[in-house]
Structure 1
Amino acid sequence: MSVKLSLIVQKDYIMGANFAVNHASLVGHTKHPEKWGERKYLDCTTSGGKPICSACEEGKEYMDKKHYSDKCRRCTFCDGEHGLEVETNCTRTQNTKCKCKSNFYCNAPVCEHCDPCVSCEHGILERCTSTSNTKCKQESTRYHFLWPCIVVLVLGILFDVDLHKYILHIAEEMSLDQVMTFVRKNGMSEVMIDEIKNDNLQHTAEQKIQLLRRWYQTHGRRDAFRTLIKGLRKMKCYALADRIQAIIQADLENATADTRIENE
C-alpha cells in the first residue's frame, strides 16, 4: 500500500508541476491588442488576462491601429528646409499631416519634400499650386539676342570674386534641395554629400553651408561665381540667381566706394 500511495502522490505531483509550467507559459503571452493611441506597458500577469497599457506621448508619438507592440510610432516632422509645413498636428491617434509651404509644390503621390516654384522671367501662364509648378510664358524674340551679351558682361566683371565670405549669405537664400541639386550637377559625389549630411543630421542650415563650402573648395575661386549663377539659371531658379548676384554686386560696389572715399 505504501508503494502504491507513493506512486499516486508522485503522479499527482508531476501532473501538478506540468499544469504549473503550462499555466506559467500562458502568462504574458495572451494576445490582447492595444487600442489606438496606446502601447503595451507590461505583459499580462494571469492566464487570459490583459496587458497593462500606457498612452502614447501627445504631440510626439501616435498609434493609428490596434497592435501588440510596446512602442508607439514617432510623429512625422514637417521640415521647413524641405519646403514643408504642418497641416494637421500630431495626436495620440493620428500622425502629423504635412503640406507644401507657400510658393512650394509637390507632384508626387507621397511628398517627402516640396520643390520651390519657378520664377518666370517673361510672365506667368499658370500660377504655382501645391501640386504643380508655375508655367511660364516663352521669352520674347525681341532683343533676346542682347541678353547673353549682358550676362557675359556682368559675369565677366565678377567672375573672379572670392565667394568664401558670401557662402553664409548664399546658403540663407537657397533651400537644402536647391543646394543639393546644384552641387550634384557640379560634380560633388553622393558619398561626399551623404558624409556632410550625416555629420549635421539635425542642422539643415549647417548642411547647406558645408555643402556649398566643400563645392567651392573643390572648384576653386576662379570662375566660381559664374558657375554658381549659370548653374542656378539652368535649374530655372532665375529669381534666386538674381538675388545672389545683387547681394554680391552691391557688396562689391560698397567696398569700391569705401576705398575711393579713403583714397580721397
Structure 2
Amino acid sequence: MSAALLFLRLVLVFGWTIGLHCDSDVPAAHTMYDKLSIKRNISKRELKCKEGEYAAENMCCKQCPPGSVKSADCTKDKNTTCERCTEGSFMNHYNSLDECLRCKPCDSELDLEVAEHCTVTQNTQCRCKQHYFCNSSDPCHHCNPCSKCENGAIEKECTPTTDTVCKRNVWWIYVVVVGIVIAIASLAVAAYCYKKKRKDFDLNNQMRHPVVHKPPTPEMEHLLYPDIDLSTHIPAIVEEMTLPQVKNFVRKHEIPEPAIEQTIQDHLNDSTEQKIKLFHIWYQHHGMKGAYGNLIISLRKFSMRTVADKIEKKLNVVTSSSQENGRSKVSALSDEHTV
C-alpha cells in the first residue's frame, strides 16, 4: 500500500514540474507571435507598387486596362483576373475597381442629344440639339434656345457651344442717349420746382417725426408661410412644375449634379417619379423649418411666379389658419421697425 502511495506522489511531482515548464514557455510563444505580426504589418505598410500596379495582401498586382474591372486579385502563380464591362457601363482608365461605371443618358427634355454612344472605354458624349446651345461648362447639363436676331441681322451663327451673335445697329444708341438727356433734364426741372415750393412751406406745420415704413425683411417675409410638413404634398406640388423646372429649382439650391443624374437614371421612363424623387432630395436637404416659405419665395425669385401662385393656392386650404398667425407676427415686427 505504501509503495502505491509513493508511486502516486512521484507522478504528481513529475506532472507539476512539466506544468511549470509549459507555463514558462507561453509568454515566449506569445512574444514570438507578436513579433511576427508586427513584422508582417510593417512589411505590408512599406509595400510600394509601381505605376500601373496596386497592393493586394503582400504583393503588387497589375491594374486592369480600360474597358474592364478586377474580378480577382493576382497570386504568385496567376495575374490579376479582369472582366470586360457589360453593355450600359464603361471604364476609361487603368484601375483596380470591382465594378464598371454606369453610362449616362442624354436628357431630351433638357434639349440634349447623343453625340457619341457609350462604349466600354468611354462614357456617352452629349451635345445640344440643333438650334440650341450649351450655357454651362463641360460636361453640358442643359441647353438654351439660340437667340433670334431682329430682321435676321446675324453676325455669327449659333453653335452647340455659343449663342447667336447679332449685328449691332448704331441708331438705337442715339435714341438711348437722347432719352437719357431728356430724363436728366426732366429730373433737374422737377428738382428745381420742388426746392422752390419747399421755401414757401411753413416749417412749423411740417411733421417733426415722419413715419418711415421699412420694407419687409426676409425674416418677416418667411413668417407669412408657416412650417408645415411638405412631404405629403410633394406629388401635388410637382404636378404644377415641369421636369426642367424641378431640375432648375434643385440645382439652384446646390443639390449635387451626380445625385440629380442618378435619380433621373433610376426612373428613366417615369418623369413624374423623377420630379417627386428630386423634390424629396431637396426637402430632406432643407428640412421642414422654413421649407414652405423658401419654396414659394425661391420660385418667384427664379422667374416661376405662375407656378408659385398655383402651388400657394393649392396649399392655402391647409395653411390658411396658420397664415393668419404668421401675418399677425409680421405686423408686430413691422411696428417694431417703424421709426
After TM superposition, the score normalised by the length of structure 1 is 0.46
- Which structure's CA Rg is the greater one? 2
**Structure with the higher helix share, 1 or 2:** 2
After TM superposition, the score normalised by the length of structure 2 is 0.37
